[in-house]
Structure 1
Amino acid sequence: MNDTNVFYPAALLACLTLTLGGGFASASDYPNKPIRLIAPNEPGGPTDILARTLAQKLSVNLGQSVIVENRAGAGGNIGTQVAAGARPDGYTLVTGNNATFGANITLYKNLPFDPVKGFAPIVLIGFQPNILCVHPSLPVQSVKQFIAYAKENPGKLNYGASGQGQLAHLAAELFKGMTGTNLVYVGYKSAAPALVDLVSGQIHVMFATALSVKQHIQSGKVRPLAVTTARRSAAFPDLPTIAEAGVPGFDATTWHGLFAPAGTPAEIVSRLNTEVNLILKMPDVLKLLESMGADIKGGSSKELADHVQGEIAKWAKVINAAGITLN
């Protein structure tokens, strides 16, 4: 008898366990070693602060170190690609947002990962509103007045944004499409010089992040008209949403979520979802995120999966209509 043609059930089961079940074998005692949390951005920004806050709290709750690894570049694509190629065992996680899990699949012709098929959604962490701001010299006090003024002056008003494909840029293009206004895009390498020009009156409009523009609003150097989120922001409760102020259905939000590579065991995804939802209710975490202008979300993994699908579809329409492409 040729032994190479004989199947040994026990050996076959062991082989299958090693080949296919690395993640499944470790699910019951997860975690038993440090976890890597990839933040696909530079250190020090809001996303990095969020990642480090989660890492600190998860380390305590899970009893294992959670180590943040910054992998910036290409609009978040580099770090996200690293996460997509990692072993799906729960020991590599990644933060995602409206770019990496929304707009980038349409912006980049050859995105090196699939934001839907390549990942297991864990939880939608929260939203950070942008604020539609104008220079005080514009004779407008509301979104409706701004729309009317822009239509009376087609092509004469310009808006600043920190680079093509960034949320401030896409939010303005969404606004243009939904209102029939003609605003001229002025690109910047970052938000800081755009804000300088807005304050000085070199540009007229900006869909600025709440955190970056807050002090200019308080000083009266720029005039806020509305927040870009679907609901009013707890950080700016007196500001209406653009949707309620005259553009029904408008929603252009910086959001943050937590993801794992596709194939990560459901038990691990569920455990992480539970832990992050608990963390998002901690008073010190709430205080920190609110200081960043963030509104906490939480919820199920399915809610994040559905949100990603909706974001991809929404931004694809905007990007294709505006003819925006990035290499």
Structure 2
Amino acid sequence: MSPIKTRVILAAILGLAAGSDGASTQNYPSRSINVMVPTATGGLTDVLTRNITQRLAQAWSQSVIIENRGGAGHNIGAAAVAKAAPDGYTLMAVEAGTFVANPFLYAKLPYDPDNDFEPISGFASISMALLAHPSLPARNVRELIDLARKRPGEISYGTSGIGGVLHISILLLETLADVKLVPVHYRGAAPALNDLLGGHINVISMGPSIALPQVRAGQLNMLAVGSGKRLPQLPDVPTLDESGVPGYEASTWFGLFAPARTPRTIIAKIHSDVQRILSDPEFKNYLTPQLLEPMIGTSEEFAAFIKSDAQKWGDIIRKANLSLH
């Protein structure tokens, strides 16, 4: 076959592929979409995802079906999506830990976090807050650090499990403030918060929205927030950075992913529609009372952010020698 004929055939093949990809985008979605949420129902990941996907379903005139498949630190659901057809009809909505903690906690994962998924868009982020029981004789972060140094091995904190954000956000505090607290691990944030309210543990680091009623009722003290600057909804609560822990910043985030090799045109369409929702004033009004910040940006910016966040928390996990099996 002559070089000219070869080039013509190759161009035709590439043209057909491009046309097919374009057609799939124009028709997408032409049927219902499944979104895997690898956590139990009722948690923040689940609730936020349902709110966004309801809006997507309206925009697309197609059903968006949520499948909750928890277990093994999100790994079961994530593995299922990694093996799904890359056609845009199976997506995954997760909290940060799937990508920024699990790769460092587990010796072997049933998925490759770097190569099995296409980041589509962040949904929202929430800064952590340092909460204390009123019986603790520390009304700010500096007093907490001083107390922990004077009473080593006595100041306890609750986690939602080894390597979860409630855990590693305190490990970051320990690293930057050169102090040690005593971890008490629970199966989820709810029992940890309940024990804090009961005075069985001293402090906790968690998303502040769930505990705001107890803070306002005087049942808990909010010592500081982990954001880079004060939250407009909590103007009187200082950041940890300004409270004597320079460089401290801790948050968790939620986002949407597709299996690797999903057509870029489909990724771009989903991204555009999600970003339109995040920019909607009505949706922002939904996020603001929950202290959630919409994640506005491109898919590429989201991917770069994940890589940076994974490096930060991976360093903390490695230094603490944490592992799960």
Question: What is the TM-score of this pair, normalised by structure 2?
Answer: 0.90
Instruction: Give the Cα separation in 2 of the matches to 1:69 and 1:265.
Output: 23
Instruction: Give the Cα separation in 2 of the matches to 1:145 and 1:230.
Output: 21
Counterpart of 2:139?
A: 141
Q: For each residue in 1:245-273, what CA deviation from the matched residue of structure 2 results, as whole angstroms up to 9, or x when unmatched?
A: 22222222120111111111221111111
Secondary structure class of the residue paired with 2:26: coil
Instruction: Work out whether 1:86 is the aligned partner of 2:84.
Output: yes
Contact 2:21 2:265 in 1 (8 A): no
Task: In structure 1, list runs of 5 or more residues that go unmatched.
Answer: 1-6
Contact 1:103 1:311 in 2 (8 A): no
* Counterpart pick for 2:225 among 224, 227, 236: 227
Task: In structure 2, list runs of 5 or more residues that go unmatched.
Answer: none
Contact 2:120 2:258 in 1 (8 A): yes
Shift of 1:194: 2.1
Q: For each residue in 1:252-295, what CA deviation from the matched residue of structure 2 results, as whole angstroms up to 9, or x when unmatched?
A: 21201111111112211111111111111234322332333312
Instruction: Give the Cα separation in 1 of the matches to 2:111 and 2:14.
Output: 27
Contact 1:234 1:295 in 2 (8 A): no
CA-atom RMSD in angstroms: 2.6
* Counterpart pick for 2:99 among 92, 101, 108: 101
Shift of 1:243: 2.1
Contact 1:162 1:169 in 2 (8 A): yes
Instruction: Work out whether 1:168 is the aligned partner of 2:166.
Output: yes
Task: State the AA in 2 paired with 1:249.
Answer: G
Instruction: Give the Cα separation in 2 of the matches to 1:143 and 1:98.
Output: 26
* Counterpart pick for 2:122 among 115, 121, 124: 124
Secondary structure class of the residue paired with 1:314: helix
Task: State the AA in 1 paired with 2:294.
Answer: I
Instruction: Work out whether 1:49 is the aligned partner of 2:47.
Output: yes
Superposed counterparts of 1:166-245, under 5 Å:
166-245=164-243
Instruction: Give the Cα separation in 2 of the matches to 1:193 and 1:85.
Output: 34
Counterpart of 1:33?
A: 31
Counterpart of 2:282?
A: 284
Contact 1:17 1:25 in 2 (8 A): no
Instruction: Give the Cα separation in 2 of the matches to 1:313 and 1:83.
Output: 24
Instruction: Give the Cα separation in 2 of the matches to 1:15 and 1:40.
Output: 39
Task: State the AA in 1 paired with 2:60.
Answer: L
Contact 1:233 1:295 in 2 (8 A): no
Contact 1:23 1:264 in 2 (8 A): no
Aligned pairs, number? 321
Shift of 1:191: 2.4
* Counterpart pick for 1:155 among 153, 170, 185: 153
Instruction: Give the Cα separation in 1 of the matches to 2:257 and 2:209.
Output: 25
Task: State the AA in 1 paired with 2:273.
Answer: E
Secondary structure class of the residue paired with 1:230: coil
Contact 2:36 2:69 in 1 (8 A): yes
Superposed counterparts of 1:241-256, under 5 Å:
241-256=239-254
Instruction: Give the Cα separation in 2 of the matches to 1:192 and 1:32.
Output: 40
Instruction: Give the Cα separation in 2 of the matches to 1:230 and 1:280.
Output: 21
